[in-house]
Amino acid sequence: MVGLRLAASGVEHHGGAWSGGRPPGPRRERWRVPGFSAVDDSDQPGALLRYLDDAAAAESGMKQYAVAAHALRRPAGPILDVGCGAGHDLVLLADAGLAAVGVDPSAVMVTAARDRTAAAVPVVRAAGEALPFADGAFAGCRIERVLLHVADPRVVLAESVRCVAAGGLVTVLEPDFGSFRVRSTTLPERADWISAARNPGVGARLWELLEQAGCDVLDRVEELSVWRSLARLENVAGFPMSVERAVAAGRLDATDATRWVDEQRARNAAGEFYALLPKIQVVAQKR
């Protein structure tokens, strides 16, 4: 049994979704990326859960890579899934014959994960900054699309690695919105301003962060998502609400924003929309 260090757990709230005025064009949902920083504060938790369903399909290749990396080691103990969300990856780990434990700060997500796994996998409600487990309690750990939302990725990584036994495998997958590109003649193609996540470029820093947390990097895999439809930008980044968020935060000029939105809608109508998002997975071993 996994050693519990703390009995109590709770939700850390990191601010809700943006609540500015109406964006250009039809109204869109306001959750998307920032909503995952405070799921239990969202007025549309069902939309967040549906997003995770979509992501489970879109990220299936990278997810299976992480599961295979853990399974090939034939771990003697359970794998910790930090920020397990609705439990999609707990199911993948279980299907691979691996014992697993999920942890998430959101009551909504914990309930969804327990439902998805039919309560066959332990799921604990706790923040990644204060995991209620003993040192070295797990044979490995996986983290996916969590560090971009937290206050300090270094703290969450250090706490996650603390819970892994020496020699255990740690896999981390994060997008790199700092390198996000959208084809444009209106603005520079680098569109890192579109993400309202706390750490949009954390994917590019994973190697360094894992080494600082006490791990040796074994592999780095990068997947480049190519989007040819504006609908993908709507689903992943909450377009066009994300554009107005950028204006409100001072990351983008309002006039430039209007021109850029018009340009992208025209490109989409002409079948010329083109965007690139790197997603980076690093496999490391705890020293």
Q: Give residue-wise pLDDT tens across range 121-151.
A: 999 999 999 999 999 999 999 999 999 999 9
Q: Which CATH number fits domain 32-286: 3.10.20.30, 3.40.50.300, 3.40.630.30, 3.40.50.150?
A: 3.40.50.150
Cβ-count burial 254-267 (b if 16+ within 10 Å, e if not)? eeebeebbebbbeb
Using a pLDDT cut of 70, give the percent of the chain over it.
88
Q: Are strands 275-286 and 215-227 parallel, antiparallel or unpaired?
A: antiparallel
pLDDT, residue 21, reads 36
**Tens-digit pLDDT profile for residues 20-63:** 333 334 333 333 444 677 777 777 777 778 878 777 777 788 99
User: Taking residues 160-189, what's their average pLDDT?
Assistant: 98
Write out the DSSP string of 41-84. G-S-HHHHHHHHHHHHHHTHHHHHHHHHHHHTT--SSPEEEET-
**Rounded-to-5 percentages of helix, strand, coil across the chain:** 40, 20, 40
**Tens-digit pLDDT profile for residues 257-285:** 999 999 999 999 999 999 999 999 999 99
- 193/131 Cα distance (integer angstroms): 32
DSSP 249: T
